[in-house]
Amino acid sequence: MNIPNNVKELILKRKEKFVNDKNLQLIGKPGYSSPDEHILPDALTSLVLHKNVLLKGPTGAGKTKLAESLSAEVGQPMHSINCSVDLDAEALLGFKTLVEKEGNTTIQFVEGPVIQAMKNGHLLYIDEINMAKPETLPILNGVLDYRRTITNPFTGEVIKAAEGFTVIAAINEGYVGTVPLNEALKNRFIVIDVPYIQGSILEGVLKSQSSLSDGDLIKSFVQLSEDLVTQVRNGQIPEEAASVRALIDTCDLAVFMPPMRAIQRGIIDKVEDEREKAAIRNIAETIFG
Ligand SMILES: Nc1ncnc2c1ncn2[C@@H]1O[C@H](COP(=O)(O)OP(=O)(O)O)[C@@H](O)[C@H]1O
Ligand SMILES: [Mg+2]
C-alpha cells in the first residue's frame, strides 16, 4: 500500500494513543482487498485528518470490511451502529436503567455507541446510514460537524468528543429501501467510492474467504462475476446480483452441489423480476451450463 510519509506519521501517532486502551477487543479485523491502489490510503488519510469518511457502494462490496480494516490499520477501537434495524435515540445514545446497590435502587445511564466512542476518542461506524429513520439522523448533526458535541437528552450531559473521535459511515445508494442521503449530511463527509472487486483480487478473496478450493471452479466464478457486472452496467440486472457476499455464499454451496444450483440459491432467487432472473441464468449457463 502506497501511503505518503506524512500520513504514516499520523497513523503511528494515532496507534500509540490506543496501545493501552481498555477496549482493544473493539479493534476491527484487517482483510479488505482494494480494487485500486488509492481506496485504502485515501480513506486512511481522511481518517487520520479527523475527517468523517463515507463509504459509498453497493451491498456486499466490502464497506464493512473496509471500515474494520481501517480500524485495524490505525489500531483504534470502533463502535458500530447498524441503521437498517429499528434505530432510535436510545440505540444511539444509551438508556436509563435501575440498579440495585446495597439495598438502594438508583437510576443509571448505560452509554450507547455514540457516547462511548465520543468519550473515548474511538471510531464510530454507522452502517447503512441512509436506512436510518429521518427523525434519527438530526441527533448526529452536532456530532458530525466541527462542534463534535452532543447534549444527551436523557441526562442533560453535554459531551464534547475526545481527540481521535472519527466517524466512518457506509451507504448503499440506489439500493431498494434506501433514500438518497440528505445533502447537508453528505456535505459533512469525505466520500470514498467502494466498487465490487474483480479479477485476480476477487479470486484471492474467494480463495481465502470461501471454503471452495477447486482453482478452476473459482476462476469460473470470477468470470461469472465479471459478466454479471457487465450486465449490471447495461442495466439488465440489479446491482446486488454482483455482490461479493452472495458470490462467497455461492462458492461455499458449490463445494457440496452443482454450481448451477448453488447460483440459483445464492444469486438468482434473490432477484424478484423474472426477466432479470433469466438474464442471470443465461450468463451462468454459458459458463457452467
Ligand atoms: N474488497 C474486499 N476485500 C475483502 N473482502 C471482501 C471485499 N468485498 C467483499 N468482501 C467480503 O464479502 C462479504 C461482504 O462484505 P461487507 O464488508 O459485509 O460488504 P458491505 O458492507 O459493502 O455490504 C464479507 O465476507 C467480506 O469479507
Ligand atoms: Mg455492511
pLDDT for 73-104, tens place per residue? 999 999 999 987 778 889 899 999 999 988 89
Q: For the segment 175-186, what is each residue's pLDDT rounded down to a tens digit? A: 555 667 778 888
Kindly report the protein residue whose alpha carbon is nearest to atom 10 of ligand 1.
Answer: 62
Q: Kindly state whether residues 203 and 180 are assigned to the same domain.
A: no
Query: Which of 83, 194, 244 most suits a substitution to test ligand 1, by most atoms within 8 Å of the C-beta?
Result: 244
Domain that holds residue 176: 5-193
Last residue of a domain, one of 193, 210, 231: 193
Buried b (16+ CB within 10 A) or exposed e, 159-180: bebeebbbbbbbbbeebeebee
| 168-192 mean pLDDT | 79
Residue 257's pLDDT is: 98
Is there an atom of ligand 1 within 6 Å of 248 CB?
yes
Do 189 and 204 fall within a single domain? no
Q: Last residue of a domain, which of 162, 193, 224? A: 193
Mutation choice for ligand 1 from 245, 247, 249, 267, CB with most ligand atoms inside 8 A: 245
Where would I find the H helices in the chain? Answer: 5-18, 39-48, 63-74, 89-93, 113-120, 141-144, 183-186, 199-209, 215-233, 244-254, 259-266, 274-288
188/252 same-domain check: no
Of ligand 1's atoms, which has the minimum distance to the CA of residue 58? 22
- pLDDT score at 178: 60
Do 108 and 229 fall into the same domain?
no
The CATH number of residue 106's host domain is 3.40.50.300
Q: pLDDT for 100-151, tens place per residue?
A: 988 899 999 999 999 999 999 999 999 988 888 878 888 888 899 888 999 9
Regarding whether 216 and 172 lie in a shared domain, the answer is no
Pocket flag, ligand 1, residue 63 (CB < 6 Å): yes
> What percent of the chain lies above the pLDDT cut of 90?
81
Let me know whether 203 and 131 are in one domain. no
Question: Using CA positions, which residue lies closest to atom 20 of ligand 1?
Answer: 60
Q: How many domains does the chain have?
A: 2
Supply the mean pLDDT for the chain. 93
From the CB of 18, is ligand 1 less than 6 Å away?
no
Confidence of residue 288 (pLDDT cuts 50, 70, 90): very high
First to last CA, the chain: 39
Distance 157 CA to ligand 2 centre (A): 31
User: What are the phi and psi torsion angles at 227 (to 5°)?
Assistant: -65, -35
CA of 64 to the centre of ligand 1 (A): 7
Are residue 57 and residue 185 in the same domain, yes or no? yes
Q: Which of 134, 161, 193 is the last residue of a domain?
A: 193
Q: Which three cell numbers stand for residue 160?
A: 464534547
27 CB under 6 A from ligand 1?
no
Range in 69-78, 170-179, 227-236 with the lowest mean pLDDT: 170-179
Ligand 1: nearest atom to the Cα of 62: 17
